[in-house]
Amino acid sequence: MIKRAAQVKLIDEQGRRVDGRLPDEMRPLRIEVGKLKSADGSAYVELGSNKVIAAVYGPREVVPRHEVIPDRALLRCRYAMLPFSVAERKSPQPTRREIEISKVVREALVPAVFLEEYPRTAIDVYINVLEADGGTRTASIIAAATALADAGIAMRDLVAAVAIGKIGNLLVVDINGVEDQYGDGDMPIAMMPRYGEITLIQADGVFTKEEVKRALELASKHIDEIHRLQIKALKETYAKIEEGE
């Protein structure tokens, strides 16, 4: 039976969400850097029950050669959800959704990377979602940006992201799968935190001008916190290398 939004209570009498969070509360975020030894850079991100791994290869030779860009690097991103990442097996064939997310993740990262430092090369970012529960594109951006930094790619800043949701007239931070399915809006936002520059904003649902303003304020606050965790994870990896681990 198809459930209708009205049948799913997304906010209880205490103002708590389906997973017990307050509207302004993110799911626990864990970032681990350098999990994949064969990649030039990698990062594993857990955002609630989302599990995402990003691997960066490059700068390296461009294949096929006709894709070479003479004055900068070619940044390629491939986002894929593994067949077991959702309750009902997902076909391994790239879906339209995965092609769209690959494109928007790439666009969210491009402003942060000094592509002109690496002419005639390719930088490939592979993102695999091991488990999905709403917000995989924002978790992917967090993982990919951290993996690029781990690969030693010159960057203006990291990129961090969070999705703001709408339940009735209430804005909530970091929507999960159920909220995404039965809520009234989803606005993924990515920023270069040091510059406060937005590199991605999408909206599914109807947001008033005032709601967009508040969503950006909310996102910005949480993006600063995510940025701190990205830097902490990167620093911890290099501290371990110095200790000879």
Question: How many residues of this chain bind ligand ADP (CB under 6 A)?
Answer: 13
Close Cβ partners of 219 (under 8 Å, ≥ 6 residues apart): 162, 164, 173, 187, 189, 191
Nearer to ligand ADP, 111 or 134 (CB): 134
Determine the Cα–Cα distance for residues 32 and 46; give it in Å rounded to an integer: 9
Is there binding between residue 133 and ligand ADP (CB under 6 A)? yes
Closest CA to 149 of 245, 37, 42: 42
Site string (182-221) toward ligand ADP, x via CB under 6 A: ----x-----------------------------------
Is there binding between residue 230 and ligand ADP (CB under 6 A)? no
> Using an 8 Å Cβ cutoff, are 153 and 6 in contact?
no
> Using an 8 Å Cβ cutoff, are 146 and 105 in contact?
no
The neighbour count for residue 126, using CB atoms within 10 Å, is 20
Nearer to ligand ADP, 148 or 187 (CB): 187
Nearer to ligand ADP, 38 or 91 (CB): 91
CA angle 27, 33, 39 (to 5 degrees): 130
The residues in 22-81 that bind ligand ADP, with binding defined as CB under 6 A, are none
Site string (83-112) toward ligand ADP, x via CB under 6 A: ---x-x-x------x---------------
Q: Which one of the spans 23-31, 82-90, 207-215, 217-225 is the region binding ligand ADP (CB under 6 A)?
A: 82-90
> Using an 8 Å Cβ cutoff, are 226 and 142 in contact?
yes
**Contact with ligand ADP (CB under 6 A): which of 34, 111, 135, 185?**
135
> Using an 8 Å Cβ cutoff, are 75 and 82 in contact?
no
**Contact with ligand ADP (CB under 6 A): which of 177, 183, 185, 193?**
177
CB 238, min distance to ligand ADP, A: 30
Closest CA to 138 of 230, 205, 209: 230
Phi, psi of 211 (to 5 degrees): -65, -40
Is there binding between residue 137 and ligand ADP (CB under 6 A)? yes
CB 166, min distance to ligand ADP, A: 13
> Using an 8 Å Cβ cutoff, are 28 and 44 in contact?
no
Helix (H, G, I), strand (E, B) or coil at 183: coil
CB 88, min distance to ligand ADP, A: 6
Which residues are at the interface with ligand ADP (CB under 6 A)? 86, 88, 90, 97, 132-137, 177, 180, 186
